[in-house]
């Protein structure tokens, strides 16, 4: 249920009202926007009399929300959420450019790429330390050492780092990581999501391989229900019937749909979506035009010898070229809107 309060409601009235609501055992979310305050109620609201609430002098409107996602719901939080990733803000007009190799391979590899992507306009560095590989015989990542190398690259470049977690037991290793990525394969690892809900780290939640938008939002809800509202969504392509020419099918319609349904930032990963560096730039530009809040792209200085996902990795030169066009589209949009 949500109640929109009338302008001019005092702090005292608000506290009295929320205190009364909490007495019903409900979680009370307060979203103070520029023009209105929205009270979102989570829990068993069947005990509440909506007509009674609607009759209160400070209440503008009251209505029940039937969507199963509540904290992630834009009805509960009409303004865009802005996620602070160690100083880099994402959402509400702030654009994230997250780039780097699929996997951290060595110090020289990572710092070289980190400097190049920073120079080209990236404001965060990505790199997998724990890698979810389809085959157990493939490179599994440098694990703890990979995280150390990411932190070194962060020290050298000042770029906040994004890296994937696969097991909640590894959380202590992520203490200094700026953004924790939940990969497509773990989008519905509910125990992992619950543990991440207990942290206050920004979480980049990738869409599951064949997940619906509702399932994805419910996974965000798992993290938020635990108290961590710092969630960003990352569309990385979904499985459809054709995998001959592209690795996945980039669902760009997810951008406007999510913008309507949720206040959380939406990041697009055109690398895993297409699986080919040839198509990354076009899809990145389309994502920006569709209104995405950020891009995550894989960049490798030597894609031919990358230990993972070389085919979809841009060289630093290709990345720099992509960024020039991204900035042109962003500026054009700013002028047009």
Taking the CB of residue 4, how many other CB atoms lie within 10 A of it? 17
DSSP conformation letters of 121-138: T--EEE-BSS---SSTTS
DSSP H or E stretch at residue 315: none
- Name the minimum Å distance from CB 269 to Mn ion: 9
Structural tokens at position 259: 């913008």
Judged by beta carbon, residue 46 or residue 134, the one nearer ligand PEP is 134
Taking the CB of residue 278, how many other CB atoms lie within 10 A of it? 12
- Name the minimum Å distance from CB 206 to ligand PEP: 4
Task: Identify which of 179, 180, 168, 105 has the alpha carbon closest to the alpha carbon of residue 142.
Answer: 105
Instruction: List all residues 6 or more positions away from 143 whose beta carbon is below 8 Å from its beta carbon.
Output: 129, 130
- CA angle, 248 then 213 then 252, to 5°: 50
**264-283: contacts with ligand PEP (CB under 6 A):** 272
Question: Count of residues binding ligand PEP (CB under 6 A)?
Answer: 9
| Residue 277 phi, psi (nearest 5) | -60, -25
Judged by beta carbon, residue 53 or residue 238, the one nearer ligand PEP is 238
- Name the minimum Å distance from CB 216 to ligand PEP: 12
Which does residue 184 touch among Mn ion, ligand PEP, none (CB within 5 to 8 A, set by kind)?
ligand PEP
Stretch that binds ligand PEP, among 53-61, 80-88, 142-150, 178-186 (CB under 6 A): 178-186
Does 316 sit near ligand PEP (CB under 6 A)? Answer: no
Which member of 54, 132, 227, 256 binds ligand PEP (CB under 6 A)? 132
Which does residue 132 touch among ligand PEP, Mn ion, none (CB within 5 to 8 A, set by kind)?
ligand PEP
In the DSSP assignment, the letter for residue 23 is T
Q: Which residues bind Mn ion (CB under 5 A)?
A: 102, 309
Structural tokens at position 17: 């009202």
Which does residue 29 touch among ligand PEP, Mn ion, none (CB within 5 to 8 A, set by kind)?
none
Judged by beta carbon, residue 21 or residue 102, the one nearer Mn ion is 102
Judged by beta carbon, residue 42 or residue 308, the one nearer ligand PEP is 308
Judged by beta carbon, residue 183 or residue 270, the one nearer ligand PEP is 183
- Name the minimum Å distance from CB 284 to Mn ion: 15
Does 62 sit near ligand PEP (CB under 6 A)? Answer: no
d(CA 320, CA 334): 21
**179-238: contacts with ligand PEP (CB under 6 A):** 183-185, 206, 236
- Residue pair 251/239 in contact (Cβ under 8 Å)? The answer is no
Strands (E), the chain: 2-5, 27-32, 37-42, 59-63, 83-85, 88-90, 96-100, 124-126, 161-165, 179-182, 203-206, 231-235, 266-268, 294-298
Which does residue 201 touch among Mn ion, ligand PEP, none (CB within 5 to 8 A, set by kind)?
none
Does 128 sit near ligand PEP (CB under 6 A)? Answer: yes
Judged by beta carbon, residue 83 or residue 234, the one nearer ligand PEP is 234
Which member of 48, 83, 102, 232 binds ligand PEP (CB under 6 A)? 102
Q: Are strands 203-206 and 179-182 parallel, antiparallel or unpaired?
A: parallel
Q: Which residues bind ligand PEP (CB under 6 A)?
A: 102, 128, 132, 183-185, 206, 236, 272
């Amino acid at each position: 249920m949500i109640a929109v309060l009338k302008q001019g409601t005092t702090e005292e009235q608000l506290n009295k009202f929320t205190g009364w609501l909490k007495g019903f055992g409900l979680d009370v979310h307060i979203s103070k926007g520029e023009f209105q305050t929205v009270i979102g109620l989570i829990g068993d609201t069947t005990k509440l009399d909506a007509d009674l609430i609607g009759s209160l002098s400070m209440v503008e409107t009251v209505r029940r929300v039937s969507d199963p996602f509540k904290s992630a719901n834009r009805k509960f939080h009409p303004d865009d959420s802005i996620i602070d990733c160690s100083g880099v803000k994402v959402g509400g007009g702030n654009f994230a450019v997250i780039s780097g190799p699929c996997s951290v391979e060595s110090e020289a590899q990572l710092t070289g790429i980190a400097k190049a992507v920073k120079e080209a306009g990236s404001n965060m560095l990505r790199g997998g330390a724990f890698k979810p590989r389809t085959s157990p015989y493939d490179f599994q990542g440098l694990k703890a050492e990979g995280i150390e190398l990411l932190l070194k690259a962060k020290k050298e470049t000042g770029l906040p780092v994004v890296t994937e977690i696969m097991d909640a037991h590894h959380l202590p290793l992520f203490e200094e990581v700026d953004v924790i990525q939940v990969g497509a394969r773990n989008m519905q690892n509910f125990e992992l999501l619950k543990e991440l809900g207990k942290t206050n780290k920004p979480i980049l939640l990738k869409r599951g391989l064949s997940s619906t938008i509702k399932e994805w939002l419910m996974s965000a809800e798992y993290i938020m229900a635990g108290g961590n509202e710092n969630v960003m969504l990352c569309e990385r392509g979904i499985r459809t019937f054709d995998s001959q020419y592209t690795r996945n099918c980039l669902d760009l319609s997810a951008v406007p749909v999510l913008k309507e349904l949720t206040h959380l930032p939406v990041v697009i990963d055109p690398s895993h979506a297409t699986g080919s560096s040839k198509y990354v730039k076009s899809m990145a530009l389309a994502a920006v035009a569709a209104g995405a809040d950020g891009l995550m792209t894989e960049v490798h200085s030597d894609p031919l010898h990358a230990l993972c996902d070389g085919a979809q990795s841009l060289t630093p030169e290709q990345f720099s070229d992509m960024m020039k066009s991204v900035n042109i589209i962003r500026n054009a949009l700013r002028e047009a809107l």
